[in-house]
Amino acid sequence: MNKQFDVAVIGAGAAGMMCAAVAGQRGKRVVLIDHASRLAEKIRISGGGRCNFTNLHASPVNFLSENPHFCKSALSRYTPQDFLSLIKRHNISWHEKHKGQLFCDDSAEDIIRMLKAECDLGKVQWRMSCPVTDVQKADAGFVVQTSHGDIMVDQVVVATGGLSIPKIGATDFSHKIARQFGLKIIEPRPALVPLTFDAAAWEPFVPLSGISLEVDIETGDKKNKMLFREDLLFTHRGLSGPGVLQISSYWQPGTPIRINLLPEVDLAEDLIAAKTTTKKNLANYLSQYLPVRLIDGLLTAHAFDGNLKIADMQDKRLRLLAEKINRWELTPNGSEGYRKAEVTRGGVDTRELSQQSMMANKVPGLYFVGEAVDVTGWLGGYNFQWAWASGSAAGMAV
Ligand code: FDA
């Protein structure tokens, strides 16, 4: 069979389109294959439809991996500024939200159009609505088996992402191909995902659903503690919001998380000092710090009477209440799973890949990029930055 293409990129998402565009513009004959009918569904829904396309402060510390040094090379060779230059070349207007997070002013569609245009510049050929059933090693190169027939190529880039949001086309294809070629997988888990609690234990907090506030949230032991100061959102089933999504990526099942609902105040010290300076009752006094509905809910849930005058309360009780607010420890029973997770933690073990090119060390010509790989970014544009950087690294190497 004649080789019509040099490279097949499987998965026309963020990493796949970047890789195909870079390789195509280097003169490679590239075919980009996706089983979905529409391009890059995840870019379309990202950032509330405005795509948080990078983070100005992206650096290796913002990524989780069993092999934390792996991402350094690709991230240093394709930086947020490189992506920003591309955005500017395409006249896409953008703004910084906070903490270096960059969003489109108008729509995530701008990013998809831009990547499509870059692929077209590289004369990339499209095969959409085209499920890939298998990839086999041939005498020279690979055979990519698709619903539209076999495609012979020299090199294959697997860019089919992780397992999050199956209803828009996520599959375990990358893991399946990695295993088939004898590569190790770091066990995948939902990440950047709301956390849930045992229904009975959570019942007292259900009335707090909808309340959002900035907190310190942490997990892990002394040696590997991770802490974020971000918003938390109470839900019917548990906790969500940016702080919880961030910590969910680090949380280990069966272990607790700790939340400081009032990070700027040492509440024990404050309440004990207030015994001599205020005539207020507990609920009124706390209302200077926290929303009334949250105070009512917390006092009820932790069995405190909000009508008690602070001056009449024992130090021991005040300290106990302060601990529930400054260091609330609770153990999730799980997460909302891949249905709600923004990303998948784990994936192809990076020790199997070249950090320069993303190629599998023991399978020359086979590459893995983007979320398929065991590199997971924080919330805030980091995951797209990894998709661009790893896609570009493979695009330069194929
Ligand atoms: P991606 O998932 O983008 O693409 C994989 C492609 O492979 C898809 O087009 C899929 O159809 C295709 N595919 C899968 N299996 C296949 C098969 N068997 N055959 C053929 N094709 C197949 N990140 C960020 O940095 N900023 C943000 O604002 C957001 N927001 C956000 C919101 C929501 C709701 C989600 C779910 C995720 C985010 N993310 C994010 C994360 C970000 O979307 C994600 O990390 C990247 O899209 C990963 O890029 P990839 O190209 O690796 O996979």
Span from the CA of 169 to the centroid of ligand 1 (angstroms): 9
16 CA: nearest ligand 1 atom? 51
Give the per-residue pLDDT at 390: 98
Residue 36 near ligand 1, beta carbon < 6 Å: yes
Task: Please tell me the predicted confidence (pLDDT) of residue 18.
Answer: 98
Number of alpha carbons in the 13 Å side-chain half-sphere of residue 99? 12
The per-residue DSSP string of 228-239 comes to: EEEEEEE-SSEE
Residue 42 has pLDDT above 80, yes or no: yes
pLDDT of 253: 95
Q: How many CA atoms lie within 13 A of 175 on its CB side?
A: 16
Q: Which of 55, 383, 388 has the most ligand 1 atoms within 8 A of CB, as the residue to mutate? A: 383
| Angstrom distance (rounded) from CA 282 to CA 307 | 6
Contact 66, 186 (CB under 8 A): yes
Query: Residue range 210-239: average pLDDT?
Result: 95
Q: Is the CB of 345 under 6 A from ligand 1?
A: no
Does the Cβ of 347 fall within 6 Å of ligand 1? no
pLDDT band at 396 (very low <50, low <70, confident <90, very high): very high
Distance 143 CA to ligand 1 centre (A): 24
Confidence of residue 222 (pLDDT cuts 50, 70, 90): confident
Alpha-carbon Rg for the chain in angstroms: 25
CA torsion sign, 26 to 28 to 29 to 31? Answer: negative
Ligand 1 within 6 A of CB of 45? yes
Does the pLDDT of residue 264 top 70, yes or no? yes
Residue 89 CA to its chain's centroid (Å): 27
Q: What is the pLDDT of residue 367?
A: 98
Q: Between the CA of residue 388 and those of 15, 255, 263, what are the distances in Å?
A: 6, 34, 36
Mean pLDDT of the chain: 96
pLDDT, tens only, 301-355: 999 999 999 999 999 999 999 999 999 999 999 999 999 999 999 999 999 999 9
Bridge partners, residue 32, by sequence: 9, 126
Please tell me what DSSP assigns to residue 201: H
Phi, psi of 210, rounded to the nearest 5 degrees: 100, -20
Q: What span, in angstroms and rounded, lies between the C-alpha atoms of 37 and 34?
A: 8
Q: Which atom of ligand 1 is nearest to the CA of 42?
A: 43
Measure 40 CA to ligand 1 centroid, in angstroms.
Answer: 7
CA-CA distance, 215 to 158, in Å (whole number)? Answer: 39
296 neighbors 306 (Cβ within 8 angstroms): yes
- Our mutation pick for probing the ligand 1 site, out of 9, 42, 249, 339, counting the most ligand atoms within 8 A of Cβ, is 42
Q: What domains sit in the chain, N to C, each tagged with a CATH number?
A: 7-188+345-397 (3.50.50.60), 195-335 (2.40.30.10)
Place of tokens 């229904």: 199
Ligand 1 binding pocket includes 242 (Cβ within 6 Å) = no
Please check the confidence at residue 32 and state whether its pLDDT lies above 80: yes
Over residues 119-131, the pLDDT tens digits come to 999 999 999 999 9
Q: What is the pLDDT of residues 361-394, one digit of tens each?
A: 999 999 999 999 999 999 999 999 999 999 999 9
- For ligand 1, is residue 80 a contact (CB within 6 Å)? no
Q: What is the pLDDT of residue 1?
A: 59
Check pocket membership of 326 for ligand 1, CB cut-off 6 A.
no
Using the mean position of ligand 1's atoms as its centre, give its distance from the Cα of residue 162 in Å: 7
pLDDT digits (tens, 9 = 90+) for 83-101: 999 999 999 999 999 899 9
Q: Which residues contact 323 (CB under 8 A, 6 or more apart)?
A: 268
Look at residue 34 and tell me whether its pLDDT is greater than 80.
yes
Q: Which residue has the tokens 């998965």?
A: 11
Can you give the pTM of this predicted structure?
Answer: 0.96
Confidence check: pLDDT of 237 > 70: yes
Cβ(54) – ligand 1 distance below 6 Å: no
Is residue 213 within 8 Å of residue 292, measured between CB atoms? no
CB under 8 Å to 166, separation ≥6 — which residues? 338, 339
CA distances from 173 to 65, 100, 347 (A): 20, 33, 11
Task: Point out the ligand 1 atom lying closest to the alpha carbon of residue 391.
Answer: 51
Torsion of CA 300, 301, 303, 304, to 10 degrees: -50
- Residues 226-236, mean pLDDT to the nearest whole number: 97
The reply to whether ligand 1 has any atom less than 6 angstroms from the CB of 227 is no
Q: How far is the CA of 85 from the centre of ligand 1 (A)?
A: 22
Question: 334 Cβ partners below 8 Å, 6+ apart?
Answer: 195, 196, 253
For 155-171, write each residue's pLDDT tens digit: 999 999 999 999 998 99
Q: Between β-strands 30-33 and 226-234, what pairing exists: parallel, antiparallel or unpaired?
A: unpaired
Distance 58 CA to ligand 1 centre (A): 19
Section 95-118 average pLDDT: 97
List the residue whose alpha carbon is closest to atom 36 of ligand 1: 342
For residue 2, the model assigns a pLDDT of 63
Closest residue by Cα to atom 35, ligand 1, is 342
Q: Give Cα 205 to chain centroid, integer Å.
A: 26
Supply the pLDDT for residue 3: 77
- Residue 295 backbone dihedrals phi, psi, to 5 degrees: -60, -50
CA distance 43 to 50: 9
Q: Provide mean pLDDT across the span 245-249.
A: 98
- In angstroms, the CA 391 to CA 370 distance is 7
Which range among 17-21, 146-150, 221-225 has the greatest average pLDDT? 17-21
